[in-house]
Amino acid sequence: MFNEYDPIKKKMFQVMDNNGKIVNTKFKPDIEDKEVLKAYKDMLFARTADNMIVSYQRQGRIFTYPPNYGQEAISGAVAQLMRDDDWLVPEFREMGAYLAKGASLKEIFLYFMGYEEGVNFKNAKNFIPYAVPIASQLVHASGIGYEIKYNKKDQLVYTFVGDGGTSEGDFHEALNFAGVWKAPVIFIVQNNQYGISTPFKVQTASDGIAIKSYAYGIKGIQVDGNDFFAMYKAVQESAEHAKAGNGPVLIEAVTYRKGAHTTSDDPTKYRTKEEEQEWDVKDPLKRLKAYLKSKKLITEKDEEKLIEDYKKEIDRQFVEAENYGPYPLEDIFKYNYGDMPEDLKQQMVEHEKFLKCKEVSLNAHV
């Protein structure tokens, strides 16, 4: 597969078309339909949760949040293949992978509410907390991969970054180090076309991101990131390559961020409705649902019931997180300076006002 879809050939790997039809039978992964259905349900749950979190944020019930909307097939594929002992070193846009690794929605909610407990994953093994500083997690992933290689462990590292993160120095350092030491790391770049508001065309002069693998002496492949089957096969082959001691792989997953960069962003300022509509026909859930419907494995009625049940569970866990209770103000303000400066005192006053507003909001939803 890596030879046929060598990035120098400028050929994107795809298995399923926009209508859910398998167009590349040679590389369709060996995955049973019941597992595909499970993957779809997981992706649907992640999208439902994602959209509800945006709604909670608009109501003032949670802080700034980075939507995953439109990119679910990437995490969805990794979620089906990642083993318990493998490492997940994410950024902040991989809801499906977080849940697959063992994080609960409540923990995810707590993180975006500002609680330390939000990254103390009780049931998630080998899961590094989300990295907000762009691309910093890639260096950590390479270091973990080096330790795995050195101690001859049967583990892999899955790490994610956006196309904007490939312009950071950490991207070069991580891939260079992992390539030299043949660390078993799968670098997944979610090329969602924008680094906040910077379009990909001004992010790099190279023909995509996968071709950068040549500079590090590692395998690379450009994949249709909205095609679940293509992502599954690419991740599966990359895992086998890395487990065999052949070193890391760079996967460029071409996708589209259908939502905002974060809830503090307004994408209408830098992209058009026409562009959004063009990408909407490539939506990962629409395509996979079309495949499942052709196999008579799901109906619209089935999906409606799933979403209804999902919303109840998501809301239940959100209410639990919402009732967690505030941290003592001293934890936030008291221990920064010997004598608190005026600007910090003002921040404490503003935070107290926020907590009162939150209490009013909570009472309104009881």
Q: Which long-range contacts (CB under 8 A, 24 or more apart) does 127-130 make?
A: 127/87, 127/88, 127/98, 127/101, 127/102, 127/103, 128/87, 128/88, 128/89, 128/90, 130/90, 130/91, 130/92
Q: Are residues 61 and 154 in the same domain?
A: yes
Of the candidates 261, 287, 291, 310, the residue annotated as catalytic is 261
Q: Are residues 236 and 274 in the same domain?
A: yes
| 270 a catalytic residue | yes
- Cα–Cα dist 124/126, whole Å: 7
Last residue of a domain, one of 320, 339, 354: 320
- Cα–Cα dist 199/352, whole Å: 39
Q: Are residues 237 and 182 in the same domain?
A: yes
The per-residue pLDDT for 362 is 63
Of the candidates 61, 241, 257, 287, the residue annotated as catalytic is 257
**Domain contains 326:** no
**Domain contains 117:** yes
| 316 a catalytic residue | no
**Domain contains 1:** no
Q: For the chain, how many structural domains are there in total?
A: 2
The per-residue pLDDT for 246 is 98
- Cα–Cα dist 287/276, whole Å: 16
- Cα–Cα dist 219/206, whole Å: 16
Q: Are residues 207 and 281 in the same domain?
A: yes
Q: Are residues 46 and 167 in the same domain?
A: yes
The per-residue pLDDT for 191 is 99
The per-residue pLDDT for 335 is 82
Q: Are residues 273 and 338 in the same domain?
A: no
Q: Are residues 108 and 66 in the same domain?
A: yes
Tell me the average confidence (pLDDT) per consecutive run of 10 residues in the chain, 366 residues long: 96 98 98 98 98 97 96 98 98 97 97 92 95 96 99 99 98 99 99 97 96 98 99 99 98 98 97 98 99 98 98 98 84 85 92 80 64
**Domain contains 203:** yes
- Cα–Cα dist 33/23, whole Å: 17
Angle between helices 284-294 and 228-243 (to 10 degrees): 100
Radius of gyration of the chain from Cα atoms? 21
The per-residue pLDDT for 366 is 57
**Domain contains 281:** yes
The per-residue pLDDT for 8 is 96
The per-residue pLDDT for 359 is 73
Query: Quick check: 44 and 261 in contact, CB under 8 A?
Result: no
Task: Name the H helices within 67-128.
Answer: 72-81, 95-101, 105-112
3-state SS assignment for residue 145: helix
The CATH number assigned to the domain holding 255 equals 3.40.50.970
**Domain contains 115:** yes
Q: Are residues 345 and 289 in the same domain?
A: no
Q: Which residues pair with 219 in a beta bridge?
A: 249
Q: Are residues 260 and 346 in the same domain?
A: no
| 140 a catalytic residue | no
The per-residue pLDDT for 355 is 78
- Cα–Cα dist 47/221, whole Å: 26
Least Cα distance to 351 among 117, 114, 55 occurs for 114
- Cα–Cα dist 32/62, whole Å: 39
**Domain contains 325:** no
Give the DSSP per-residue string, 152-217: T-S--EEEEEEGGGGGSHHHHHHHHHHHHHT--EEEEEEE-SEETTEEGGGT-SSSSSGGGHHHHT
Query: Quick check: 112 and 119 in contact, CB under 8 A?
Result: no
Q: Are residues 112 and 208 in the same domain?
A: yes
Q: Supply the range of the domain harboring residue 125.
A: 7-320
Of the candidates 58, 83, 150, 270, the residue annotated as catalytic is 270
Q: Are residues 312 and 356 in the same domain?
A: no
The per-residue pLDDT for 365 is 60
Give the DSSP per-residue string, 278-328: HHHTT-HHHHHHHHHHHTTS--HHHHHHHHHHHHHHHHHHHHHHHTS-PPP
Q: Are residues 226 and 342 in the same domain?
A: no
Chain-centroid distance, C-alpha 239: 18
